[in-house]
Amino acid sequence: MDQTDYLAEQEELRKARKAGRWQGALIMAAIAIFIALIILAVNIGLKIRNGTLLSLLSFGKETDPVITEEVKDKAETLKAVIDTYYYEEVDEEALQNGIYKGLMDGLGDPYSVYYTKDEYEEMMEGSEGIYYGIGAYLQQDSETMQIKVVRPIPGSPAEAVGLLTDDIIVEVNGEDITDQDINLVVSKIRGEAGTTVNVGIYRAGEQDILYFDITRAKVEDVTVEYEMMEDDIGYIYLSEFDDVTTGQFIDAMEDLKEQGMNSLILDLRDNPGGNLDVAVDVADYILPEGLVVYMEDKNGEREEYKSDASHHWDKPIVILTNGNSASAAEIVCGALRDYDRATLVGTKTFGKGIVQQILPLGDGSGVKVTIARYYTPNGTCIHGDGFEPDVEVEFDVDAYMNDETDTQLVKAIEILKEKQ
* Angstrom distance (rounded) from CA 137 to CA 242: 11
Residues 201 and 291 grouped into a single domain: no
pLDDT attached to residue 65 = 72
Pick from 185, 220, 255: which residue ends a domain?
220
- Per residue in 242-279, pLDDT (tens digit) is 888 999 999 999 999 999 999 999 999 999 898 899 99
In a domain, 5, yes or no: no
Residues 318 and 267 grouped into a single domain: yes
Domain containing residue 155: CATH number: 2.30.42.10
Residues 184 and 241 grouped into a single domain: no
Pick from 99, 122, 145: which residue ends a domain?
122
User: Pick the catalytic residue: 352, 365, 408, 411?
Assistant: 352
In a domain, 35, yes or no: yes
Angle at 374 between CA 370 and CA 379, to 5 degrees: 145
Residue 170: Cβ-neighbour burial (10 angstroms; 0-12, 13-18, 19+): middle
Task: Check if 239 is active-site.
Answer: no
Angstrom CA distances, 165 to 141, 151, 201, 324, stand at 14, 5, 11, 11
In a domain, 13, yes or no: no
In a domain, 8, yes or no: no
Residues 31 and 102 grouped into a single domain: yes
In a domain, 201, yes or no: yes
Task: Check if 10 is active-site.
Answer: no
Confidence (pTM): 0.69
* Angstrom distance (rounded) from CA 218 to CA 193: 6
pLDDT attached to residue 54 = 29
Residues 242 and 328 grouped into a single domain: yes
User: What DSSP state is assigned to residue 262?
Assistant: -
Residues 214 and 240 grouped into a single domain: no
Residue 34 pLDDT exceeds 50: no
H/E stretch holding 148 reads strand 147-152
pLDDT attached to residue 158 = 94
Helix, strand, coil percentages (3-state) for the chain, rounded to 5, are 35, 25, 40
User: Is 313 in contact with 249 (CB distance < 8 Å)?
Assistant: no
Residues 339 and 361 grouped into a single domain: yes
pLDDT attached to residue 14 = 55
Identity of the residue numbered 410: V
User: Pick the catalytic residue: 96, 142, 146, 356?
Assistant: 356
Question: Which residues does residue 202 pair with via DSSP β-bridges, in sequence order?
Answer: 168
Residue 59 pLDDT exceeds 70: no
- Per residue in 315-342, pLDDT (tens digit) is 999 999 999 999 999 999 999 999 999 9
Residue-range definition of the domain harbouring residue 183: 130-220
Question: Which residues does residue 176 pair with via DSSP β-bridges, in sequence order?
Answer: 171
Residues 294 and 323 grouped into a single domain: yes
In a domain, 190, yes or no: yes
Mean pLDDT within 100-129: 82
Angstrom CA distances, 415 to 85, 235, 403, 419, stand at 69, 14, 22, 7
Residues 274 and 395 grouped into a single domain: yes
H/E stretch holding 102 reads helix 92-105
* Angstrom distance (rounded) from CA 204 to CA 111: 26
Pick from 90, 122, 154: which residue ends a domain?
122
Domain containing residue 241: CATH number: 3.90.226.10
Task: Check if 156 is active-site.
Answer: no
User: Is 346 in contact with 386 (CB distance < 8 Å)?
Assistant: no
Residues 64 and 88 grouped into a single domain: yes
In a domain, 93, yes or no: yes
Residues 140 and 262 grouped into a single domain: no
Domain tally, the chain: 3
The torsion defined by the Cα of 190, 194, 197 and 201, in degrees rounded to 10, comes to 90
In a domain, 173, yes or no: yes
- Per residue in 158-210, pLDDT (tens digit) is 999 999 999 999 999 999 999 888 888 988 998 888 999 999 999 999 999 99
User: Pick the catalytic residue: 327, 365, 368, 411?
Assistant: 327
Decide: helix, strand or coil at residue 82: helix
Residues 261 and 211 grouped into a single domain: no
